[in-house]
A and B are shown apart, each in its own frame.
Chain A
Amino acid sequence: MFTYLTNGERSLFDEFDRLQREMDQLFGGWPRGAIRGGRAGAFPPINIGATDDAVHVYVYAPGFDASRFDVTIQQNVLSIGGSRAPEPREKRTWYLRERFEGDFRRAVTLPEDVDPERVEASYRNGILHLVIKRRAAVRPRQIPIA
């Protein structure tokens, strides 16, 4: 099935996309029930992973001015804001406008052992990459028995 961009028809694939998003909203989401869990389809999409010594956050926000990201962390709650200027609208016939424009702000809850004092941020090819170091694991202490 063909979608003609110029007359706004929607293809079967769009329908699948929509169904997928609804399924994700019903069954996906992390952490379940978290007050800052967010919703599927929010902009920008975020991936989070962890290694033994750091939590890595990947924010898929292409076409932004890196100096204008606003990233704050309070304990283990990370908040990310940014702004992308809209394309000029004059003297043009628009067929598709799917890209995000304007301001966004998202907050995510990170694992509790992150150290808010040790955060690094870089922006490359449209992905904002945040590395938040974790505190050294509290080792179980052996208690000698006299």
Chain B
Amino acid sequence: MSERKTTEKAAPGAAASETALRPNVEVYEDADGITLIADLPGVAPGGLNLQVDKETLLIEGNADLALPEGLQPLHAEVRSTTWRRSFALSGELDPDGIEARLKDGVLRLHIPKRAEVRPRRIEVRVT
């Protein structure tokens, strides 16, 4: 099947805030729908912004580091506190049924397929 399920695209306003980091993700599909797992270290549930409409899924998170006063940077491999990535959804997915879970900085999203497009097992009777 070569149907395109989710499409990644530049987030609205991405050019204006180029400091956002792009989270690493895993995306897989099974009979029920699409699952997306994103690494968002530092992001608490209150700092997560998920926006979904018919066509677009935007994942945005702000890491809350509570840095101590007077901290001088010695070495930085992560140079932003904002994570952002967005995906386009295709029509057979049901954005109203999205479930999201955020634990230890890992977001797990499940986007179900509409009931009418889920595969049905067809019994073959031997006559």
Contacts and interface: CB of A to CB of B under 8 A. Distances in A.
Given A49-B73, A96-B26, A126-B104, A62 B5 contact: no
Size range of the interface on A?
35 or more
Contact of B39 (A47, A58, A63, A123): A63
Interface of A: 1-7, 11, 13, 17, 30, 40, 42, 44-52, 54-56, 58, 60-64, 87, 91-100, 108, 111, 123, 125-127
Nearest to A12: B10
Size range of the interface on B?
35 or more
Contacts, number: 140
B22 A17 contact: yes
A126 B71 contact: no
Contact of A5 (B37, B72, B77, B87): B87
30 contacts: A5-B27, A6-B29, A13-B10, A30-B75, A44-B41, A47-B73, A47-B75, A49-B74, A51-B71, A52-B70, A56-B71, A60-B77, A60-B78, A62-B104, A62-B106, A64-B104, A87-B26, A92-B28, A93-B29, A93-B30, A94-B28, A95-B29, A99-B25, A99-B37, A99-B39, A108-B75, A123-B104, A125-B41, A126-B43, A127-B42
